[in-house]
Amino acid sequence: MSGNEEERGPVDLVIVGSVGIDDVATPAESRKDLLGGSASYACAAASFFARTGMVGIVGSDFPGDYLSLYRSLGIDTGGLETVEGSTFRWAGVYEDNMIERRTISTELNVFETFSPELPAAYRSAPYLLLGNISPGLQLHVLDQAADVRFTAADTMNLWIDTDRDALMNVISRVDMLTLNDGEARMLTGKWGLRDCARVILDLGPEYVVIKKGEHGAMLFSKDEVFIVPAYPVENVIDPTGAGDMFAGATLGVLAAAGTGAGLAEVKKALFQGAVVASFGVEDFSLEGLRNLAPAQIHERLDALRRMTSMG
Amino acid sequence: MSGNEEERGPVDLVIVGSVGIDDVATPAESRKDLLGGSASYACAAASFFARTGMVGIVGSDFPGDYLSLYRSLGIDTGGLETVEGSTFRWAGVYEDNMIERRTISTELNVFETFSPELPAAYRSAPYLLLGNISPGLQLHVLDQAADVRFTAADTMNLWIDTDRDALMNVISRVDMLTLNDGEARMLTGKWGLRDCARVILDLGPEYVVIKKGEHGAMLFSKDEVFIVPAYPVENVIDPTGAGDMFAGATLGVLAAAGTGAGLAEVKKALFQGAVVASFGVEDFSLEGLRNLAPAQIHERLDALRRMTSMG
């Protein structure tokens, strides 16, 4: 794989996360053996904008077609480790509202022994997204990324419950934390999202992004609040990975611009994140992104800007 | 009362709705004998902007202090009828999330015989808001408002269930319908809000406003979608009447401008509606509006614009 890397040059953005095979049931349809995982969704979204390297682990059963899909999406898989055994699997069912979901089963498999190592070519990447994996693994990656200029981390309720100290450590070392509204409340013990954000900002990050699913997201910095709208999708087919695509595209835009991550840049990037995620939820797995043309992203971005413009 | 009316001149906006005495319990606090009802909230919000006349009914037990409060808020009470008996009463309890609520009791009392009649001075008012009362009563008011230029109606799940035909008739005769997301889904049998809006627009209104509580609202016309943000309140004390304040202020702004209700005007008015409602939920009953200064509204409006601006 290192030959491949060298051909393609260094990456601008490294994304660490899970790679999995998902069974997803929605009220309308059930699908089995889908490509999933936080790294898959985030890298696919980011690679529309920036040269993105994936750090993850798969088993020897991981379908070659999925590796091909990563590459056709432009993802650098130089940091994707393949080991003997089965790939991580997740199965879930969405309720009628397409928001709440029940996990039917989780098989960690090769993920259980995952210790993410950044290939040499990734260690100087200026942007880093720590997808939703255990805070211990996120810290291990942070220790290897000495030259990183901007790091974002995502998390979930599980780690708030089971590994709070390590998570607090992660939060203190990143520039941006993304999490959903319920998780923000759980982490801080506050109800109002501005209160939640204040507590998290005090832990260290420059930005907190609180995600609200179909209702968009809110960006908080010490001095500002920014309301990120969601693009109103006609028909949500599969919301799995929406938050990962949102974060991935956001970091991709920042990494591609390379002009730093001031508030104005972050706002623009979050709009792009919302748009890419809106395409992603219009089909299962990565299907909504696979044939997506940049012109479609621009068109929907313009539409979203009109929907939020007084003019 | 008619003497009072003549002194104050004709009204720009007529609001018909319920006037009630509420018992409200939130996780933090319980309050009894509060001034409530859709007409109270909507008129209080509208009267910051336009000369607003209230059409409603109260019993002989209605506190004089509440009448004084209406007048101190600048509401014209020329259409508020007082009859022998008890005022409408409602009691409700909010869940921990301050969104879902349970109705503990409803006593219609004098509301049971309510037949809203517009005073002569109200019949030529150019703007009309049919607050949340039965669609039969809303139709009765529409029949009296021959010269109205712009009518908005609000509704609720109860009427969708029990009086659908009359409600459909109301919808076909108004310029704007406001309802919440759950009600839009219930009314149309669609899930996606754009689909819901399309069905409702086909019934006749030029605008549909779908309210999403703390997540703001969406405005739909035949050709456009506009995302109305909610102002992120630090601490919601009592969300009762939020939708009524939102609609009341919106209509008040339109009536005050008197420049018609094109899309640009409606967008601006909805922003003001969101801001006034945000003050309203920061205290029980009308307390959040009672001492509110126009400068505070402008300040929060500027803040909300900044929160949605890319600049």
Secondary structure (H, E, C), B278-291: HHHCCCCCCHHHHC
pLDDT at B223: 93
Mean per-residue pLDDT, A64-73: 97
Strand, helix or coil for residue A306 = helix
φ/ψ of A79, rounded to 5, equals -105, 15
Chain B residues close to A98, C-beta within 8 Å: 191
A210: pLDDT strictly greater than 90:
yes
Q: How far apart are CA A167 and CA A159, in angstroms?
A: 7
Q: Contact A232/B216, CB-based, under 8 Å? A: no
pLDDT at A4: 42
CA distance to partner chain A, nearest, from residue B301 (Å) = 13
φ/ψ of A192, rounded to 5, equals -65, 135
> Residue A9: pLDDT band by 50, 70, 90 thresholds?
low
Nearest to A11 by CA among A54, A55, A51: A51
pLDDT at A99: 77
CA distance to partner chain A, nearest, from residue B181 (Å) = 12
* 3-class SS letters over A127-152: EEEECCCCHHHHHHHHHHCCCCCEEE
pLDDT at B106: 93
Burial A50-84 (b: 16+ CB within 10 A, else e): bbbbbbbbbbeebeeebbebbeebbbbbbbbbbee
Residue of A94, A98, A227, A305 to mutate, interface with B, max B Cβ within 10 Å: A227
Of B195, B216, B226, the CB nearest to A234: B195
Nearest to B193 by CA among B205, B181, B175, B208: B181
A121: pLDDT strictly greater than 50:
yes
**Tokens 């939708």 map to which residue?**
B243
CA distance to partner chain A, nearest, from residue B284 (Å) = 18
A65: pLDDT strictly greater than 90:
yes
CA distances from B273 to A198, A283, B248 (A): 27, 36, 7
Nearest to B76 by CA among B29, B140, B12: B12
pLDDT at B4: 42
Question: In chain B, positions 215-244, which contact chain A (CB-CB < 8 Å)?
Answer: 215-216, 218, 224-227, 229, 232-236
Q: Contact B234/A195, CB-based, under 8 Å? A: yes
Please identify every stretch of chain B with a pLDDT value under 50, giving residue numbers as ranges: 1-7
> Residue A120: pLDDT band by 50, 70, 90 thresholds?
very high
Q: How far apart are CA B280 and CA B290, in angstroms?
A: 9
pLDDT at B147: 86
CB A77 within 8 A of CB A1: yes
Of B193, B236, B308, the CB nearest to A308: B308
Chain B residues close to A235, C-beta within 8 Å: 192
pLDDT at A98: 79
Q: Which residue of B has its CA nearest to A237?
A: B192
Q: Which residue of B has its CA nearest to A267?
A: B310
Of A98, A195, A310, the CB nearest to B267: A310
Q: What is the pLDDT of residues A237-281, one digit of tens each?
A: 999 999 999 999 999 999 999 888 899 999 999 999 999 999 999
Chain A residues close to B305, C-beta within 8 Å: 310
Cα A96–A101–A102 angle (5° rounding)? 120
**Range in A44-48, A256-260, A288-292, B252-256 with the lowest mean pLDDT:** A256-260
A200: pLDDT strictly greater than 80:
yes
> Residue A1: pLDDT band by 50, 70, 90 thresholds?
very low
A104 CB near a chain B CB, below 8 Å? no
* The dihedral sign for the CA sequence B112, B113, B116, B120: negative
Mean per-residue pLDDT, A34-40: 98
List, as one string, the DSSP characters of A211-278. E-GGG-EEEE-SS-EEEEPPP--S--S--TTHHHHHHHHHHHHHHHH-S---HHHHHHHHHHHHHHHH
Which residue type does A76 have? Answer: D
CA distances from B234 to A194, B70, B95, B231, B285 (A): 6, 27, 18, 9, 18
List, as one string, the DSSP characters of A179-220. EEHHHHHHHHS-SSHHHHHHHHHHTS-SEEEEE-GGG-EEEE
Of B218, B229, B236, the CB nearest to A232: B218
Q: Contact B235/A306, CB-based, under 8 Å? A: no
Query: Model's pTM, two decimal places?
Result: 0.92
Mean per-residue pLDDT, A105-113: 94
Q: Which residue of B has its CA nearest to A308?
A: B227
CB B40 within 8 A of CB B52: no
Of A192, A267, A268, the CB nearest to B234: A192
Of B215, B225, B306, the CB nearest to A215: B215
CA distance to partner chain B, nearest, from residue A66 (Å) = 31
φ/ψ of A220, rounded to 5, equals -125, 135
Q: Which residue of A has its CA nearest to B270?
A: A310
Q: What is the pLDDT of residues B55-92, one digit of tens each?
A: 999 999 999 999 999 999 999 999 999 999 999 999 99
* The dihedral sign for the CA sequence A174, A176, A178, A181: positive
pLDDT at B2: 37
Of B192, B226, B235, the CB nearest to A307: B226
CB B273 within 8 A of CB B250: yes
A201: pLDDT strictly greater than 70:
yes
Q: Which residue of A has its CA nearest to B229?
A: A227
Residue B276 per-residue DSSP state: H
